[in-house]
């Protein structure tokens, strides 16, 4: 394996970061411990809330995101990833302050979504308040010939309830069953061919029965990292 190092700015939230780390290990074709990549993880749950900054004009997360990325850069690492879709809404404010690549999970997930599916396919995105409100996936999907489907605020309330429950529990079989039922209903309602799980909290769930119809942003970022760093 190579000598490159990965920097992870995590903690948004902690369970999602743990799931992301585990996905990297699982996807790495390692036979021995030393076959795995070197990873520097800053699990910082004290970065100001991305959503509360937007909703209530509370403290911006950007200064702390920049400070954390600069520390990772100085370690040094060769690539920085942020396993949080909401945080990547601010990525263009962070990148000018860092001299190495800071990957955008939204762009990477959109790339994977466009593979193996016909152009003009309808895509639903299940994400947090920022991802939903600002339609952050829309321009990336459009550039790849896919159609972004914007669901109702009532449906979004259900999505955000899922996210909050996962943040508290990390995982549960009951949540997985509820997500499968909700996803099937939404795909039928909007004639969608694909669902993008645009919140890394969903990476904590197994979703086995939805495997062929979803793109998990947590998993997509892990695949990107393994291909880029190893």
For domain 5-105+221-229, which CATH number applies: 3.90.180.10, 1.10.30.50, 2.60.120.330, 3.40.50.1860? 3.40.50.1860
Q: How far apart are CA 144 and CA 92, in angstroms?
A: 20
Q: What is the pLDDT of residue 206?
A: 80
5-105+221-229 and 106-217 have identical folds: yes
Other CB atoms within a 10 A radius of the CB of residue 168 amount to 9
Q: What's the pTM?
A: 0.96
Q: How far apart are CA 116 and CA 100, in angstroms?
A: 31
For domain 106-217, which CATH number applies: 3.40.50.1860, 3.30.565.10, 3.40.50.300, 3.10.150.10? 3.40.50.1860
For the chain, the domains span: 5-105+221-229, 106-217
Q: How far apart are CA 104 and CA 133, in angstroms?
A: 18
End-to-end CA distance of the chain: 6
Contacts of 67 (CB under 8 A, 6+ apart): none
Q: What is the pLDDT of residue 3?
A: 87
Q: What is the pLDDT of residue 75?
A: 96
Annotated catalytic residue 123: no
Question: Catalytic residue among 84, 88, 123, 204, which?
Answer: 84
Question: Catalytic residue among 68, 69, 88, 199, which?
Answer: 199
Q: What is the pLDDT of residue 210?
A: 73
**Exposed e or buried b per residue across 107-139, where buried means at least 16 C-beta atoms within 10 angstroms of its C-beta:** bbbbebbbeebeeebebbbbbbbbbbeeebbbe
**Which residues of the chain carry a pLDDT beneath 70?**
1-2
Q: What is the pLDDT of residue 48?
A: 98
Annotated catalytic residue 84: yes
């Amino acid at each position: 394996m190579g000598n490159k190092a990965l920097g992870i700015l995590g903690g948004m939230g902690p369970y999602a970061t743990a799931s992301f780390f585990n996905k990297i290990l699982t996807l790495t074709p390692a036979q021995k411990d030393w076959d795995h990549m070197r990873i520097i993880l800053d699990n910082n749950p004290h970065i100001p809330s991305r959503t509360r900054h937007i909703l209530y004009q509370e403290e911006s997360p950007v200064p702390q995101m920049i400070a954390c990325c600069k520390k990772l850069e100085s370690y040094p690492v060769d690539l920085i990833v942020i396993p949080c879709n909401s945080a990547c809404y601010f990525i263009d404010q962070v990148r000018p302050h860092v001299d190495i690549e800071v990957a955008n999970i939204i762009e990477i997930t959109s790339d994977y979504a466009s593979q193996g599916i016909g152009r003009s396919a309808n895509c639903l995105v299940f994400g947090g308040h920022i991802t939903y409100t600002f339609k952050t996936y829309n321009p990336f999907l459009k550039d790849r010939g896919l159609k972004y489907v914007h669901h109702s605020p009532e449906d979004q309330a259900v999505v955000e309830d899922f996210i909050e429950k996962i943040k508290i529990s990390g995982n549960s079989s009951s949540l997985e069953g509820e997500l499968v039922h909700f996803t099937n209903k939404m795909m039928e309602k909007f004639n969608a061919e694909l669902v993008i799980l645009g919140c890394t909290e969903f990476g904590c769930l197994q979703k086995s029965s939805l495997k062929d119809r979803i793109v998990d942003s947590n998993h997509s970022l892990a695949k990107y990292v393994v291909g880029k760093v190893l």
